[in-house]
Amino acid sequence: MQTVPHRLVTIIAERHLRDKLVDAVHRLGATGHTLTDVAGEGSRNAGGGRITGANIKLETIVAPAVAEGIAEHVAERYFQHHSVIVYVQ
Amino acid sequence: MQTVPHRLVTIIAERHLRDKLVDAVHRLGATGHTLTDVAGEGSRNAGGGRITGANIKLETIVAPAVAEGIAEHVAERYFQHHSVIVYVQ
Amino acid sequence: MQTVPHRLVTIIAERHLRDKLVDAVHRLGATGHTLTDVAGEGSRNAGGGRITGANIKLETIVAPAVAEGIAEHVAERYFQHHSVIVYVQ
Amino acid sequence: MLDVLLASLLSPVVLAFVLGALAVVVKSDLEIPAPLYKTLSIYLLLAIGLKGGVALSTTPMAEVAGPVGAAFALGILTPILAYGLLRRLGRMDRTNAAALAAHYGSVSAVTFIAAQSVAAFAGTPSEGFMPALVAVLEVPAIVVALLIAYARGERAGSWREALMEVATGQSIILLVGGMTIGWIAGEEGTASVSPFFVGGFQGALTLFLLDMGMTAARRLRDLRDVGAFLIGFGIGMPIINGALGVWAGQMVGLSVGGAAVLGAMVSSASFIAAPAAIRVGLPEANPAYYLTAALGITLPFNLTLGIPLYLTLAGWLA
Amino acid sequence: MLDVLLASLLSPVVLAFVLGALAVVVKSDLEIPAPLYKTLSIYLLLAIGLKGGVALSTTPMAEVAGPVGAAFALGILTPILAYGLLRRLGRMDRTNAAALAAHYGSVSAVTFIAAQSVAAFAGTPSEGFMPALVAVLEVPAIVVALLIAYARGERAGSWREALMEVATGQSIILLVGGMTIGWIAGEEGTASVSPFFVGGFQGALTLFLLDMGMTAARRLRDLRDVGAFLIGFGIGMPIINGALGVWAGQMVGLSVGGAAVLGAMVSSASFIAAPAAIRVGLPEANPAYYLTAALGITLPFNLTLGIPLYLTLAGWLA
Amino acid sequence: MLDVLLASLLSPVVLAFVLGALAVVVKSDLEIPAPLYKTLSIYLLLAIGLKGGVALSTTPMAEVAGPVGAAFALGILTPILAYGLLRRLGRMDRTNAAALAAHYGSVSAVTFIAAQSVAAFAGTPSEGFMPALVAVLEVPAIVVALLIAYARGERAGSWREALMEVATGQSIILLVGGMTIGWIAGEEGTASVSPFFVGGFQGALTLFLLDMGMTAARRLRDLRDVGAFLIGFGIGMPIINGALGVWAGQMVGLSVGGAAVLGAMVSSASFIAAPAAIRVGLPEANPAYYLTAALGITLPFNLTLGIPLYLTLAGWLA
Ligand SMILES: Nc1ncnc2c1ncn2[C@@H]1O[C@H](COP(=O)(O)O)[C@@H](O)[C@H]1O
Ligand SMILES: Nc1ncnc2c1ncn2[C@@H]1O[C@H](COP(=O)(O)O)[C@@H](O)[C@H]1O
Ligand SMILES: Nc1ncnc2c1ncn2[C@@H]1O[C@H](COP(=O)(O)O)[C@@H](O)[C@H]1O
Ligand code: NA
Ligand code: NA
Ligand code: NA
C-alpha cells in the first residue's frame, strides 16, 4: 500500500448520496473505501441534520490519476445542487 | 474548493469545547466545518471518557492564513489546561 | 505539537485488533492516539460488518522514525491475514 | 375548546416537546444521541403499523374504504392547493413551491401519533385503522408535486429515483410492513409483542418528542432566512388542510376523534419521507425553506394549538 | 407439519425477519443503527441468561444433568462431523473446514431464542433451563475445531488468545452472568426487572430479527463467492445436526418443545462467538465462507423451515 | 445489618454492577455502546423526575419543606467539610481540593436510584418526593466549591460559564423538567407513560449499572495515580456524609428508607454534573483525582457496602 505513490481522496456529503458515491469511486478505480458518520456545516447546508441523516465521510486511497477522476466526477455531478465537498491529499 | 491552495486544520478536543471551537473557527474565517465523534488518549487525558462525553474531532478546510490563526488561537487559549491537540495539513 | 516535524499515521483495521494496535503504537513510541468507528470495504473484507464490529480507525501523530516503525510493524504482523491498512501523512 | 387545549397542552408528550425546545433555548448540553432518534422512529413506525394491521384484521373493509378514499383524495388535492397558494400569493419559484407542496401534501407520522394520543387523552379515541391512512396519505402528494415540477422543464434530479425513494423509504417499509405483520398475526399473534410495542408506546413517544422539541427549536433559529410569507404559510396551510381533513373525516363517517386525527394528518407537513424524496427528485430546491417550515413552524404549531383546534372543530361538526 | 410451519412462519418474529430481508431486496433506505443492534444483542443475551438462571434456581440438578450432558456431547461431536463432511465431500482445505466446523458446532443465540418463542407460540413451550444449554453448547465446538486445526502444522493466529476470546466473549459473559444473577436473585429478586427483561423480550426480539433479516439478505449477495457445495452444506448440516439434537433431547427426557429447541440450537451456526474466536485463532480462514454460510444460508433456513421441521420431528419422536 | 447487606448485594442491580466490573477484569470484549449509556442516563433522569413530580403533586408542601431544607443545608455544608479535610489532612492544593469538594458535595443520581431500589428491596421504601432532593442537592455544593476556589486568586476557567453549565446541564434539565411534567400531568396524566418509565425502570437501571461497573473497574486501574490518601478519602468521606445525611433525614422526619436514601445521596460523589462544571470552571484541576475518586472508589463502595450501611444506621436511629 505504501510502495507506489497514492492519494487520499476525502468526500464529505449528504448521507443519501452514500451508495451512489461508493459505487462511483469503485467504478472509477478505487479498490476500497472507508466510511465515517460525521456532522457538519458548510456554505449550502442542504443536509437537514439528523432528520435527513447528517453527513458521511468517504475516504479512499487511490492512484493519482484515479484521484483526479473521482474529484472531477464529484465536482461535475454534485457540486451544483448537493451538499458535497471533496479534497485530495 | 480545490482551486486555491487550502489547508486542512484538525482539532481534537474534549467534547464540552465543541461549540466554543466551532464558533472560534468560523469567527477566524472558516466557511464550514465537519465534526466526528472520536475517543482517544493523550498526555493529559483530561477527558473522562464516555462519562464526560469522549472527544470530538473538528476539521475545517481554510486558507493558509486562516489555518495559522486557528492553530494559534487553540494553542494559546486551550493547550495549558485542556485536552486538545491541533494540526494543519 | 506543531514545532518538531511530525507524521500522522492512520491505521484502519478490524475492530478486534483495536487493543493490540493501541498497545503496539504506544510501545513503539506514540504518546497518544485517537480512535474512530468506521465502516469499509477493501480487497480482503475480512470484517463481517457490524456482526464482527465493523472497523476502527486509529490515528497517531508521531515523529517520522516512530511512524516508520509503526507502519512496518503493522505490515509485517497483520497484512497477510487481517483486514488492515496503514498510511503515513 | 379550552379544556381540549389544556388536555392537549398538559399531556406528557406535548410537555416533553416543550421541554426539549426549552433545553435548546437555555443552551443545555442535553443531547439525544442520533442512534436513539433513529431507534425511536423505527420503533414508533413499526408500532403504529402493527396496531393498525391488527385493527384492520378485525375491521370490515367497507368501514375502511371511505376513509381510505378520503385520505387518497386529500393526498392529491392538498399539494395542488399548496402549490397554487405558494405561486400566486407567495410569488415563489416553481421548484421551491413544488418542494413545499410535496411536504405539506404528505404527512408527518409524529403529528399523527401525537394527535392520536391527545385524542385518546381527551376522551375521544380515534379508529384503530387510522395508521392505514398515514400510509395512504404519505405517497400521492409527493408524486403530484414531482409531476408538477417535472412537467415544467429540465430537472437536476431523477424522477424515477425519487419515486423509488418514497416507495422504499423507511416510513413506508415500516408502516406497511408493520401493518402486514399485524394483519397476518392478528390480535393473539401479536399479544406476545404488545407489552413492548403497545405498553411502551406512549413513553417512547415522550422521548421522541423531547428530541423533536430540540430539533424544532434549532430550526426556529433559521426563521429569518425564510421570510414572513413562509411563516404565515407554515401556520395558515395546516389550518386550511386541517379543516379540510376534519370535514372529510366527518363526511366518510369517522368518529370525532377519528376526524380530528385525520385533520391533524392532512394538516401536518412531512419531514422524513418528503425531504428524502425531494433531495433526490428536486435537489435544486432549498431545504432551508421546507425543513424550517415543516419542522420549525408547522410541527410546533400542530403539537400545541393545531391538534386541539382540529379536535374542537371535529366536536362542532359532529 | 403444516400447522406448525404456519404457526412459525406467521409469528411476528419470523415475519420481521422476512420484512428485514425484503427491505434490503427493494434497496430501502431503512437502517438499523449499529448501537441498536449491539443494545438488542446485549439485552437478549442478558434476558435469556436471567430467565435461565431463575429457572435453574427452582430446578433439581438431576433434571438438568441429562440435557447438559447431551449438549456437551453434541458440542464435541458436531464439529468433528462437520469437519469430516467438509474435507471428504467438500474437498475443502483444513483451515476453512476447521473454521466452518467451529461455527456449525457452536450455537446461535438468536436461533435458540426464535425456536424458544416459536415453540411456545406453537403450544409446546420448552424447559425453562434451556438457556443453560446454550452456554454449554457454545464453547466446546470452538475448542475442538481449533484443536483439529492446530494439530495440523503452523498457524498464523494464537490458540490461547482464541480460547480467551470465547471464554470472555460477550455472549458467555452475559449468558453466564445473567444466569448467575437470575440464580442468586431468584424469582422474587428478579420480579422488579421482569417487566423489562421478560415483558419486553418478544418485542425486542422482533426488532432484532428485523435487523438480522437485513444482515442475512446482504450476505446472500455473496452467495456466488461460496460455491454450490457450501450452499448445500448450509442447509444439509443443520438438518443433520437438528435431527441429532431432537433425538438426543428425547433421549434425555426433554419435552417436545425442549427437544425441538435443542435441535434448533445444535443445528444453528454461531455468528457472534465463533467468528470472533476464529478471527483470532484462524485468521487465515476466509470469513466469506463461514459468515455467508452461517448468516446467509443457515440462519434464514432455520428461522423459516428449520425450526418447524425440528418441532415436527420432536412431535413424531415423542 | 447482615440481612440488609445481603438484600442489597443480592439485588439484580448491584449484581449487574459486579458483573460489569468482572467483565473488565477478565478483559471481555463486552462493550456497552456509548449511545446506550447516554440513552439510559436520559431515561433514568427523566423517569425519576416524572415519579418525583407525580409524588410532589400529591404531597403537602409542609411535608417536603423539611427534607428540602436539610438537603440544601447539607449541600452547603459538605463541600466545606470536604475542602477542609482535603487541605488540612490531605495537604492538597486549593484547586484540586475545591474540585473534589464540588464532587463530594454534589450528588450521584445513580447512587440515589440504587439506594432507592435497595431500600424498597429491603422492605423500607423511601418517600416518593426524594427525587426533588436530588435536584436540590446537586447545585449548591458546586457553587460553594467554585466560590472557595475563585475567592483565592486567578482562575483559568470561567465562573459564570461553570454556573450556567450546572444550571442547564442535562441532569438538572431532565430532573426538574421531568418533575414539572409529572407535577403538571399528575397521576392519571402520566398513567399512559408509566409502563415505559415505571415498569421498565428497574431493568434499565440493571443495564446502566452493568455499564457503570465497567466504567468503575476501568477507573480502578488509575488508583496508583491518586495515592493512598485519596483512596481513604473516597471511602471515609461518604461514610461521614452518609451518617450526616441519615441523621438529618431522621431530624426532618423522613422514614427509615427515606433517611437512608438521603444518606446515600449526601454520601455520593457526582460524576456527571460536577465534572462537567469543573472542566469549565476549574480546568486546571486534575480530572484523574476527582473522576477516579468518584467513579473508581466512592461509587463501588456505596453500591456495595455504603447503602446497606446507611440503611442499617437509619434503622438504629429510628
Ligand atoms: N470548509 C469546510 N471545512 C470542512 N468541512 C466542510 C467545509 N465546507 C463544507 N464542509 C463539509 O461538507 C458538507 C457539505 O458542505 P456544503 O455543501 O458547503 O454545505 C458540510 O456539511 C460539512 O460537513
Ligand atoms: N499523539 C497523538 N496522536 C493522535 N491523537 C492524539 C495524540 N495526542 C493526543 N491526541 C488526541 O487528543 C486528545 C487530547 O490529548 P491530550 O490533551 O494530550 O490529553 C486525546 O484524547 C487524543 O484523542
Ligand atoms: N483503498 C482504500 N481506501 C480507503 N480505505 C481502504 C482501502 N482499502 C481498504 N480500506 C479500509 O481498510 C479496511 C481493510 O481493508 P482490506 O484489508 O483490504 O479488507 C477496509 O474495510 C476499509 O475500511
Ligand atoms: Na399534509
Ligand atoms: Na450448532
Ligand atoms: Na454528596
Residues 6+ apart with CB under 8 A from E154: none
What's the burial of D221, exposed, middle or buried (CB within 10 Å: 0-12/13-18/19+)? exposed
**Cα of D282 from ligand 5 centre, angstroms:** 51
Interval F234-279: pLDDT, tens = 999 999 999 999 999 999 999 999 999 999 999 999 988 899 899 8
Q: Is the pLDDT of residue B1 over 50?
A: no
A24 Cβ contact list (under 8 Å, min separation 6): A70, A73, A74, A77
Chain D residues contacting F via beta carbons under 8 Å: 10-12, 15-16, 19, 22-23, 26-36, 117, 121, 195, 199-204, 206-207, 210
Query: Above 90 in pLDDT, residue E141?
Result: yes
Least confident of A1-10, D200-209, F51-60, F69-78: A1-10
Percent of chain E with pLDDT over 70: 99
Tell me, what amino acid is at D247? W
Which amino acid makes up residue C66? V
What's the distance, CA F86 to chain centroid?
20
Contact residues, chain B, for F283 at CB < 8 Å = 46, 81-82
Q: Taking the model in full, what pTM does it have?
A: 0.94
Cell match 460553594: residue? F144
Please tell me the distance between residue D137's alpha carbon and the centre of ligand 4 in angstroms. 8
Does residue C25 carry a pLDDT above 50? yes
Residue D318 has pLDDT above 90, yes or no: no
Amino acid identity, residue B39? Answer: A
pLDDT score of C10 more than 70: yes
C-alpha distances in angstroms, B14 versus B60, F36, F185? 17, 20, 38
Q: What is the pLDDT of residue C3?
A: 55
User: Cα separation of D202 and D14, whole Å?
Assistant: 11
Instruction: Compute the nearest-CA separation of D190 from chain E (Å).
Output: 7
CA of A81 to the centre of ligand 1 (A): 13
The stretch E212-223 carries a mean pLDDT of: 87
Are the beta carbons of F159 and F127 closer than 8 angstroms?
no
The one-letter code for the residue type at B88 is V
Identify residues of A whose CB sits under 8 angstroms from chain C CBs. 1-2, 6, 8, 22, 31-37, 61, 89
- Burial of A45-78, coded b for 16+ CB within 10 Å and e otherwise, reads bbbbbbbbbbbbbbbbbbeeebbebbbebbeeeb
> Of all atoms in ligand 1, which is nearest to the CA of residue B61?
3
Confidence of residue E259 (pLDDT cuts 50, 70, 90): very high
For residue D48, what is its C-alpha cell?
A: 403504529
Q: What is the mean pLDDT of chain D?
A: 92
Instruction: Identify which of C44, C46, C36 has the alpha carbon closest to the alpha carbon of residue C11.
Output: C36
Instruction: Tell me how many degrees the CA angle E273-E106-E74 measures, rounded to the nearest 5.
Output: 155
Confidence grade of residue A47 (pLDDT, cut at 50, 70, 90): low
Query: What is the structure's pLDDT at E280?
Result: 87
| Average pLDDT rounded to a whole number, residues E223-246 | 93
Residue E298 identity: T
What tens digit of pLDDT does each residue of F123-151 get? 999 999 999 999 899 999 999 999 999 98
**Can you give the pLDDT at residue A1?**
44
Residue to mutate among D44, D172, D181, with most E CBs inside 10 A, is: D181
Range C62-79 average pLDDT: 95
Rounded-to-integer distance, Cα D248 and Cα D310, Å: 12
What's the pLDDT tens digit per position in E280-318? 889 899 888 999 999 999 999 999 999 999 999 999 998
Give the three-class secondary structure for C54. coil
Whether pLDDT at E121 is above 90: no
Interchain contact B/E (3 or more Cβ pairs less than 8 Å) = no
Judged against a pLDDT cut of 70, whether residue C2 lies above it is answered with: no
Contact call for E218 and C82, based on CB within 8 A: no
Nearest neighbour of F196 by CB, restricted to D33, D117, D200: D200
Chain A residues with CB-CB distance to C37 below 8 A: 36-37
Cα–Cα distance for residue pair D36/D23, rounded to 1 Å:
17
Partner F contacted by B16 (CB < 8 A): yes
Give the mean model confidence (pLDDT) for residues F200-224.
90
pLDDT tens digit sequence for B11-64: 999 988 999 999 999 999 999 999 999 999 887 765 555 565 589 999 999 999
Pocket residues: Cβ below 6 A from ligand 3: A 30-34, 59-61; C 12, 40-47, 55, 83-85
Neighbours of E62 (CB within 10 A): 7
Query: Please, what is the average pLDDT of chain B?
Result: 88
**ipTM score of the complex?**
0.94
Mean pLDDT in chain F?
A: 92
* Cα Rg of chain E (Å, integer): 18
- Write out chain A residues lying below 8 Å of C86, CB-based: 1-2
Closest-CA residue of chain A to C13: A34
Assigned C-alpha cell, D309: 383546534
- The C-alpha cell at F131 is 427525587
The pLDDT of residue D239 is 98
Residue E39 Cα to ligand 3 midpoint, Å, equals 27
What's the pLDDT tens digit per position in F271-314? 888 998 998 889 899 888 999 999 999 999 999 999 999 999 99
Chains F and B touch (3+ CB pairs under 8 A): yes
Nearest residue to E11 (alpha-carbon basis) of E128, E108, E113, E109: E113
The per-residue DSSP string of F159-183 comes to HHHHHHHHHTSHHHHHHHHHHHHHH
Residue C43: the pLDDT is 78
Res. F84 pLDDT band, cuts 50 70 90: very high
Q: What is the pLDDT of residue D229?
A: 93
Closest-CA residue of A relative to B2 is A87
Chains C and D touch (3+ CB pairs under 8 A): no
pLDDT of residue C1: 44
The per-residue pLDDT for D175 is 92
SS3 track for F200-258:
CHHHHHHHHHHHHHHHHHHHHCCHHHHHHHHHHHHHHHHHHHHHHHHHHHHHCCCCHHH
Amino acid at D169: G
D110-144, pLDDT tens digit by residue? 999 999 988 988 899 999 999 999 989 999 999 99
Answer yes or no: are the C-beta atoms of E274 and E149 closer than 8 Å.
Answer: no
How would residue E99 be classed by pLDDT, with cut points 50, 70 and 90? very high
Cα B13 to ligand 2 centroid, rounded to whole Å: 8
Q: Which ligand 3 atom is nearest residue A34's CA? A: 23
Q: Report whether pLDDT(F154) > 60.
A: yes
Is residue E246 within 8 A of residue E126, CB to CB? The reply is no
Q: How deeply is D49 buried, as exposed, middle or buried, from its count of CB atoms within 10 A (0-12, 13-18, 19+)?
A: buried
Instruction: Check if A37 has its Cβ closer than 6 Å to any atom of ligand 1.
Output: no
Q: With 80 as the cut, is the pLDDT of residue B3 above it?
A: no
DSSP for residue E47: H
pLDDT band at C16 (very low <50, low <70, confident <90, very high): confident
Closest of A89, A32, A86 to residue A55, by C-alpha: A86
HSE at residue D209, side-chain half, CA atoms within 13 A, is 29
Nearest to D11 among F34, F46, F189 (CB): F189
